[in-house]
Amino acid sequence: MNDASPQTIYLKDYTPPAYLVETVELTFRLAPAATRVVSRISFRPNPDATTKDFVLHGSDMSLLWAKIDGAEITPSISATGLTCEVPNAPFIWEAEVEIAPDANTALEGLYMSNGMYCTQCEAEGFRRITYYPDRPDVMAVFTVRIESDLPVLLSNGNPTGSGEGWAEWHDPWPKPAYLFALVAGDLIAHTGSFTTQSGRDVALNIWVREDDIGKCAFGMDALKKSMRWDEEVYGREYDLDIFNIVAVDDFNAGAMENKGLNIFNSSAVLASPETATDSDFERIEAIIAHEYFHNWTGNRITCRDWFQLCLKEGLTVFRDQQFTGDMRGHAVKRIVDAIDLRAFQFPEDNGTLSHPVRPESFVEINNFYTATVYEKGAEVIGMLKRLVGDAAYQSALDLYFDRHDGEAATIEDWLAVFEDSTGRDLAQFKRWYQQAGTPRITVTDSFVDGTYTLHLAQETPSTPGQSVKHPFVIPVAVGLLGQNGQEVVPTTVLELTQAEQSFHFEGLSGRPLPSILRGFSAPVILKQSQTGAEQAFLLAHDTDPFNAWEAGQNLARAGLTAMILDDAKPDRAFLDALRLAIADEEKDPAYRAMLLALPSQENLAQALFDAGHTPDPDRIYASHKALREAIANHCQAILSRLYDEHQLTGPFSPDASAAGKRALTNAALRYLSLSDGPSRAQAQFDTADNMTQQLAALSALLSIDAGRDALSAFEAHWSKDRLVMNKWFALQVASAEPENAVAVTEALTQHPAFNWKNPNRFRSVVGALPRNQAGFHRADGAGYRLLADWLIRLDAMNPMVAARMTTAFQTMSRWDAGRQAHMRDALRQIATAPGLSRDTAEMVDRLLG
Ligand code: 0A1
Ligand code: ZN
């Protein structure tokens, strides 16, 4: 598995496939240690090819025999594939290989999870199943026969026959191999049905183990909503007779959009009020939508090569964000997306792992399923939509589906659709796909004779391999407020295209207060000097809900910065402004819960670093805690009222309005536990009938060191529920005091229920440590060492998950010399581990710079 000399692959080297595939017939004879896969593939030379070499990818399998047009051949085989002589005309390839799903701990290809067989082929897992041209621009029609004693045998497309010990499936839609899927297991289905807008009846199933059948209803509902939404908003209808979802316990990612057979990490589909929190419900709804939406953006139109990953992922994330906004409210959704972008993408864009939305090279493609490709990729589409307008966006998408259905497309194709349908030149806009790094926009302004001038300057710091940056096209949504908070200029989108540019607003009676980057109209860092009074004013009056929230965050951040750097006391102006804002019954509860959340410790470290300071995680932790206490005391009366008045009665509903009330009461509860002690939280813990309130109460208790008994009670009650126990593990790591976090993590790895081979469990223990900032970044380096030790161990089993977790080191340059030295040591320790995977080796190499 470990390549001696990993190859770098470049976008510029793309060449079309030498041979195309018409049809693929696969027969699987399933057995844990020796599954046989017989393939029959019809190839034809590609008229557009630049070579005639016949190369099939393949690894971790043994070839039993191979034939071309019925005649046995002996290909030359390497660790990564095979090659042989072929006719210069269409021909039939047949082969039989043997693979061992039970030995597949990487969870790529065909593997086993709790006695069931399942597959994960994106990006390059199919080559572990049989020899094949495993690249997304080779699209073929698949027919699959599965032979096994297990009761449920599934593959892509429509079922075409089944009997005792076998089933056959046919997928009429040509697809790349990465969308192939197979599942075999002792499963039962939660069933449903959907009639498409043209009247096609579709059978829907969520396949689970028997114990989980009570956790499927919400997912089924989310699936139906997604199907309807894609018809109504994008005019896209489902195209098979059946849509299957399967829940799998061991899964490297969230879920996978295999044609007609989506495979889900059980944490991304299973939910009941007793076991799932409101955030779980929201996440599940979004992931089900995301995978379903891929049916058009990803499957019907796929990617020419893996450099184009953002073509399907950026667009599909953008679509799932629109969907969640429509389902649950756009204001809060935009805030949540901005928080996540800043928490996960900004550190990536500003560290050694920085790469363009469309990368230009990679060693291991699994390392590029990143926040930049996904979330920044979605932001780029949001900007495009803002620039061309909603109607033009819709026509461009219609053209995209018309023009490229059934194809493997590129970012050039995507942009050409917008250019052709709007007449706009997008050459400069394309830089968003090519240049890495987060642009900084510096704002200055002036007011003379009734004319207000905004001067915007953009600058993007250099990133690895890209020292020179050219200006981006940046849509900057701006509104101007008058003295009483009235809107004197409503939201206007300014197009910043040059390094520096001025924008004038004439005929004003007085100097306005600008509200800039409304709705977070571009993924940039805004630098403007605002007084505390202006921030408080915007928090109270800005009609743009995003910027009102942003103003509150800026005010909080300024106060926290003074506490961290200058030992200042909590800012009274912030406390007053916050108290006023949360008392406003006009504002929706979910929104007020967002107002109550302080900028994270990670966000503060990032902001301090950006302002030229070296952040001290312990001081950040202490100031954060002190400000939380100050809020608790300052707002006690109103928080206590909010807690009482927004309690819900009646049966649990996971809908946005009920979830918003729980978010508000739980935010209040956390503060009230600081000011008033544990009694409210203990009472809520004892009486909660849903996981949202139970977990929030437990977390509030742990935050004041009063959760020991509750923690044991929780464990005793939930020890049989894997997904709930993941929360129990993760919460302890997250809420540990900085000096205890490493010890707590270490102790939990000794817990009998810690199973490091299950990715979810590993992530909820070892993977939770980096999220405890002060605990992970302990000055003596113990956090780094613990992570390094575990990643080395995990890498031998599951390179993809291990490589992903090395990103905990991506903020290295932010910290002081001592911490940097410890981080480097930890990375070097990983780098020199014997037999390190290509995945992790590439990451560590990039991290070390
Ligand atoms: N296309 C999937 C993401 C995905 C990628 C790799 C995987 O391998 C374990 C799994 C899933 C999505 O965007 O949902
Ligand atoms: Zn996706």
The owner of tokens 């290295």 is 812
Among 175, 369, 375, 763, which is best to mutate for testing ligand 1, by the most ligand atoms less than 8 A from CB?
A: 369
- The closest-lying atom of ligand 1 relative to the alpha carbon of residue 374 is 13
- The closest-lying atom of ligand 1 relative to the alpha carbon of residue 316 is 13
Single out the catalytic residue among 108, 124, 257, 291.
291
Among 104, 110, 119, 122, which is best to mutate for testing ligand 1, by the most ligand atoms less than 8 A from CB?
A: 122
Q: Are 327 and 285 in contact (CB under 8 A)?
A: yes
Minimal-distance CA residue to ligand 1 atom 5? 122
Which secondary structure element, helix H or strand E, spans residue 385, and what is its range? helix 377-388
Could you tell me the two tokens for 665? 């009461």
Q: What's residue 802's pLDDT?
A: 98
What is the ipTM metric for this complex? 0.98
pLDDT digits 0-9 by tens, 304-362: 999 999 999 999 999 999 999 999 999 999 999 999 999 999 999 999 999 999 999 99
Q: What's residue 1's pLDDT?
A: 41
Dmax over CA atoms of the chain, in Å, equals: 88
pLDDT digits 0-9 by tens, 804-838: 999 999 999 999 999 999 999 999 999 999 999 99
> What's the sign of the alpha-carbon dihedral 596, 602, 605, 610?
negative
Which residue spans of the chain are classified as CATH 1.10.390.10? 302-434
Which secondary structure element, helix H or strand E, spans residue 663, and what is its range? helix 656-676
Q: In the predicted model, is pLDDT for residue 717 greater than 60?
A: yes
Give the closest residue to 567 by CA, choosing from 622, 503, 608, 631: 622
Which residue spans of the chain are classified as CATH 2.60.40.1840? 440-522
Q: What's residue 6's pLDDT?
A: 81
Beta bridge mates, 492: 478
Is the domain covering 9-186 a CATH 1.10.630.10 domain? no
Which residue spans of the chain are classified as CATH 2.60.40.1730? 9-186
C-alpha 294 – ligand 2 centre gap (Å):
7
Among 121, 178, 256, which is best to mutate for testing ligand 1, by the most ligand atoms less than 8 A from CB?
A: 256
Contact residues of ligand 1, CB 6 A cut-off: 120, 122, 252-257, 290-291, 313, 369
Ligand with minimal distance to 287 CA: 1
Q: Are 126 and 134 in contact (CB under 8 A)?
A: yes
Mean pLDDT of all residues belonging to the chain: 98
Ligand with minimal distance to 293 CA: 2
Minimal-distance CA residue to ligand 1 atom 1? 256
Could you tell me the two tokens for 57? 């990818």
The CATH architecture assigned to 719-849 reads Alpha Horseshoe (1.25)
Read off the pLDDT band of 3 (50, 70, 90). Answer: very low
Could you tell me the two tokens for 120? 């994960």
CB atoms within 10 A of CB 777: 29
Query: What share of the chain in percent tops pLDDT 90?
Result: 99
Rounded Cα gap, residues 840 and 363, in angstroms? 10
State mean pLDDT over 360-384.
Answer: 98
**The CATH classification of domain 302-434, taken from the options 1.10.10.10, 2.40.110.10, 2.60.40.10, 1.10.390.10:** 1.10.390.10
Give the closest residue to 117 by CA, choosing from 151, 142, 163, 90: 151
pLDDT digits 0-9 by tens, 212-266: 999 999 999 999 999 999 999 999 999 999 999 999 999 999 999 999 999 999 9
C-alpha 254 – ligand 2 centre gap (Å):
9
Beta bridge mates, 145: 27, 168
Q: Are 760 and 265 in contact (CB under 8 A)?
A: yes
C-alpha 374 – ligand 2 centre gap (Å):
8
DSSP label of 740: T
C-alpha 312 – ligand 2 centre gap (Å):
7
- The closest-lying atom of ligand 1 relative to the alpha carbon of residue 107 is 9
- The closest-lying atom of ligand 1 relative to the alpha carbon of residue 298 is 1
Minimal-distance CA residue to ligand 1 atom 4? 256
DSSP 3-state of 771: helix
Could you tell me the two tokens for 338? 């901005």
pLDDT digits 0-9 by tens, 559-575: 999 999 999 999 999 99
Number of H helices, E strands in the chain: 29, 31
State mean pLDDT over 66-76.
Answer: 98
Q: Are 41 and 132 in contact (CB under 8 A)?
A: yes
Instruction: Answer yes or no: 291 catalytic.
Output: yes
pTM reported for the whole predicted model: 0.99
Query: What share of the chain in percent tops pLDDT 70?
Result: 99
Q: What's residue 264's pLDDT?
A: 99
Could you tell me the two tokens for 389? 């307008």
Q: In the predicted model, is pLDDT for residue 729 greater than 80?
A: yes
How far, in Å, are 217, 267, 720, 821 from residue 271 at the CA level?
Answer: 8, 8, 15, 43
Ligand with minimal distance to 122 CA: 1
Minimal-distance CA residue to ligand 1 atom 12? 256
DSSP label of 811: T
How far, in Å, are 130, 265, 533, 551, 762 from residue 758 at the CA level?
Answer: 26, 11, 51, 42, 6
State mean pLDDT over 600-627.
Answer: 98
C-alpha 81 – ligand 2 centre gap (Å):
27
Minimal-distance CA residue to ligand 1 atom 6? 122
C-alpha 142 – ligand 1 centre gap (Å):
21
Ligand with minimal distance to 367 CA: 1
- Which three-class secondary structure string do you get for 201-243? EEEEEEEECHHHHHHCHHHHHHHHHHHHHHHHHHCCCCCCCEE
Read off the pLDDT band of 286 (50, 70, 90). Answer: very high
User: Residue 465: which region, alpha, beta or left (left: phi > 0; alpha: psi -120 to 50)?
Assistant: left
pLDDT digits 0-9 by tens, 442-465: 999 999 999 999 999 999 999 999
- The closest-lying atom of ligand 1 relative to the alpha carbon of residue 287 is 14
Q: Are 712 and 698 in contact (CB under 8 A)?
A: no
Top-tier CATH class for 440-522: mainly beta
Which residue spans of the chain are classified as CATH 1.25.50.10? 719-849
Q: In the predicted model, is pLDDT for residue 125 greater than 70?
A: yes
Residues measured by CB to lie within 5 Å of ligand 2, the ion: 313, 316
Q: What's residue 2's pLDDT?
A: 44
Q: What does the radius of gyration of the chain's CA atoms come to, in whole angstroms?
A: 27
C-alpha 122 – ligand 1 centre gap (Å):
6
Amino acid at 188: I
Query: What burial class does residue 150 get, using C-beta atoms within 10 Å of its C-beta: 0-12 exposed, 13-18 middle, 19+ buried?
Result: middle
Residues 6+ apart with CB under 8 A from 473: 383, 387, 428, 429, 431, 432, 495, 496, 497
Residues 6+ apart with CB under 8 A from 198: 237
Give the closest residue to 177 by CA, choosing from 225, 223, 222, 121: 121
- Which three-class secondary structure string do you get for 714-736? HHHHHCCCHHHHHHHHHHHHHHC
Q: What's residue 92's pLDDT?
A: 99
Angle at 747 between CA 743 and CA 748, to 5 degrees: 120
Minimal-distance CA residue to ligand 1 atom 11? 256
